[in-house]
Amino acid sequence: MSLLSAQDQEHIRHHFEALTTPVRIVVFTDSRDCQYCDETHQIVEEVAELSPKITAEYHDLRAEPELAALYSVDRAPAIAILRDSPNGDAPKDYGIRYFGIPSGYEFSSLLEDAVMVSTGETELSAATRSWLETLDRPIHLQVFVTPTCPYCPQMVRLAHRMALASDYVRADMVEAMEFPELSERYGVYGVPRTVINEDRHIEGAVPESRLVAEMMKAVVSEPKNWIRRTR
């Protein structure tokens, strides 16, 4: 049974007319222990069928540990959105990740990210883009969400824009209820909660300028010993 209604499918097809460069959605599931892996697989499968510019591939976390490590995936379900190369080169990985099912309000984030990765348009301010161009140390953003949170997509999309704009930024959406051990580790009692490099956090949905200010503080003490991602 399809998860998307005919009306939803038509809306998404129209939305995907904005795609320019092909996109690859890489999904990791776990055949042994994963509550929402089947549903995540189906969501991506149905979305990929709605545009010839989207390709989906599926992997098992336990069966392909080296590939999972290459994508920095250590839990499932997980999704990476990459820009495919029209001339056959390796896809470009911008460090955009989803850990947990992209359902509820986060389904819109998945659709918007596909278009963003395809077009390369981040909609970030000129000041933010200029600062990101000078970044030479790693920043890891983890945005904890729940599917019923209407404010969470704002932070997920903002974090993913940062990742697209800089090789030094990785941004994860983390579904808080699916990964309670992570939620406990980072003291997640409300969402969205954005964790920056393990030891700094932001509560709620905040403007771009606030996130950038906290990212600036995070890199001050970060050692310059991280390998730049290869696009």
Q: Which domains does the chain have, with CATH numbers?
A: 7-120 (3.40.30.10), 122-220 (3.40.30.10)
Instruction: Give me the pLDDT at residue 86, please.
Output: 75
For 223, the token pair is 């050692």
Class of residue 6 by CB neighbours under 10 A (exposed 0-12, middle 13-18, buried 19+): exposed
* Nearest CA-CA partner of 81 in 37, 117, 105: 117
pTM of this structure: 0.94
Give, for 183, the enclosing helix (H) or strand (E). Answer: helix 180-185
Q: What is the pLDDT along the chain (231 residues), one digit of tens a residue?
A: 899 999 999 999 999 999 999 999 999 999 888 999 999 999 999 999 999 999 999 999 999 999 999 999 999 999 999 999 877 788 999 999 999 999 999 999 999 999 999 999 999 999 999 999 999 999 999 999 999 999 999 999 999 999 999 999 999 999 999 999 999 999 999 999 999 999 899 999 999 999 999 999 998 865 554 444 444
Give, for 158, the enclosing helix (H) or strand (E). Answer: helix 152-165
CA atoms within 13 A on the CB side of 8: 11
What residues form DSSP beta bridges with 54?
Answer: 23
Instruction: Give me the pLDDT at residue 85, please.
Output: 82
For 69, the token pair is 């490590």
Give, for 200, the enclosing helix (H) or strand (E). Answer: strand 200-203
3-state secondary structure of 150: coil
Instruction: Give me the pLDDT at residue 227, please.
Output: 44
